[in-house]
């Protein structure tokens, strides 16, 4: 039962490492080195692709690249394929042609950065290992989950994965575009009080949408965003990093997803509409 990996960035490389530790084969034809927070360095020997039907797939591309990355694999995917969506943001598989695979959603919170390896490939540095959540709405995980969780620190199966995704989306929809727009680290959201009216307006709109969609929505998105900004004060958010590197951002799958959900509920979200337009107006590749 080999796993295929699509997208070997920070999260994909980390997943490939832990799947390998659990004795599962991961197929991918690129060279990767990983440094864990304890300083140990691991060179990943991943098998190349085999062009066989894909029964198990980790999708770890950037959300915006998902449909394009999956398109050449369509003939190898089926309704029996298990696909772990290990990405930031929501909605990246909307529009996937049928039959839909069995999708397991993942919420990842670990912090990592990477650099080019001399001679090709990339070196991923896992700076902070935080909980990773998997779930598909069912109470019982698939058989491969328990052995994997023995090797992947803080990997948890969550029945309420949908709520967990929204909790992450809600804070990312505030911290990421504000820090990208103002080119500041996450901690500046606490100290720069001039940003607070906008932060509170964004948070109030998130709570408006989420409380209509999720019966257990806890509210206080502003409080949670500020707490996370404090906990990650010296971090460069992933959206700020994308803008700085001239990469496409995840705005369409964070704030854009929120806006699409609000449109279905006929709720206008002026603060999110404005910040999406402002991020898209920044010089970046599209």
Q: Rank residues 89 and 101 by Cβ distance to ligand KPL and give the closer one.
A: 89
Residues catalogued as catalytic: 168
Burial (CB < 10 A; 0-12, 13-18, 19+), residue 147, is middle
Binding flag, residue 255, ligand KPL (CB under 6 A)? no
**Residue 186: CB minimum distance to ligand KPL, A:** 5
Q: In the stretch 133-172, what mask flags binding to ligand KPL with x, by CB under 6 A?
A: ---------------------------------------x
Could you tell me if 2 and 47 are in contact, meaning their C-beta atoms sit under 8 angstroms apart? yes
CA dihedral 240, 246, 251, 253 (to 10 degrees): -120
Neighbours of 184 (CB within 10 A): 17
Q: Which of 11, 83, 133, 228 binds ligand KPL (CB under 6 A)?
A: 228
At residue 142's C-alpha, the angle toward residues 22 and 6, to 5°, is 65
| Angle, alpha carbons 219-225-226 (nearest 5°) | 115
Output the DSSP codes for 192-204: -GGGHHHHHHHHH
Q: Tell me whether residue 81 or residue 176 sits nearer to ligand KPL (CB atom).
A: 176
Residue 176 in the binding site for ligand KPL (CB under 6 A): yes
Least distance in Å: CB of 222 to ligand KPL?
Answer: 14
Using rule CB under 6 A, residue 232 touches ligand KPL? yes
Tell me which DSSP letter residue 209 carries.
Answer: H
Shortest reach from residue 153's CB to ligand KPL, in Å = 18
Task: Determine, following the binding rule CB under 6 A, whether residue 175 of this chain makes contact with ligand KPL.
Answer: yes
Which of 82, 237, 249, 255 contacts ligand KPL by CB under 6 A?
237
Q: How many residues bind ligand KPL (CB under 6 A)?
A: 10
**10: contact with ligand KPL by CB under 6 A:** no
Residue 258 within binding range of ligand KPL, rule CB under 6 A: no
* Residue 252 DSSP class: G
- Decide: is 87 part of the binding site for ligand KPL (CB under 6 A): no
Give the CA distances from residue 167 to residues 11, 16, 27, 76, 162, in Å, rounded to whole numbers and listed in that order. Answer: 19, 26, 32, 33, 9
Q: Which residues of the chain form contacts with ligand KPL (CB under 6 A)?
A: 88, 172, 175-176, 186, 228, 232, 235, 237-238
């Amino acid at each position: 039962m080999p796993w295929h990996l699509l997208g070997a960035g920070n999260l994909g490389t980390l997943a490939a490492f832990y799947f390998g530790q659990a004795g599962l084969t991961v197929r991918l034809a690129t060279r990767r080195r990983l440094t864990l927070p304890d300083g140990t360095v691991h060179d990943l020997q991943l098998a190349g692709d085999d062009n066989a039907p894909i029964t198990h797939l980790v999708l770890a591309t950037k959300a915006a690249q998902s449909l394009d990355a999956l398109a050449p694999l369509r003939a190898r995917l089926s309704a029996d394929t298990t696909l772990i969506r290990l990405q930031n943001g929501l909605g990246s598989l909307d529009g996937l042609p049928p039959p839909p695979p069995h999708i397991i959603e993942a919420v990842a919170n670990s912090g990592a950065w990477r650099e080019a390896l001399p001679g090709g490939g990339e070196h991923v540095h896992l700076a902070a290992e935080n909980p990773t959540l998997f779930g598909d709405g069912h109470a019982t995980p698939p058989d491969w989950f328990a052995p994997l969780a023995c090797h992947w620190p803080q990997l948890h199966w969550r029945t309420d994965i949908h709520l967990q995704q929204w909790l992450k989306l809600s804070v990312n929809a505030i911290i990421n575009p504000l820090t990208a727009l103002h080119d500041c680290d996450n901690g500046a959201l606490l100290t720069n009080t001039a940003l607070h009216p906008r932060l509170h307006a964004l948070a109030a709109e998130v709570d408006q949408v989420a409380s209509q969609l999720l019966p257990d929505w806890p509210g206080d998105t502003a409080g949670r965003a500020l707490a996370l900004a404090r906990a990650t004060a010296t971090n460069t958010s992933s959206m700020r990093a994308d803008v700085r590197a001239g990469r496409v951002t995840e705005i369409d799958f964070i704030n854009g997803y929120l806006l699409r959900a609000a449109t279905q509920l006929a709720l206008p979200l002026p603060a999110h509409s404005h910040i999406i337009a402002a991020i898209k107006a920044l010089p970046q590749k599209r």
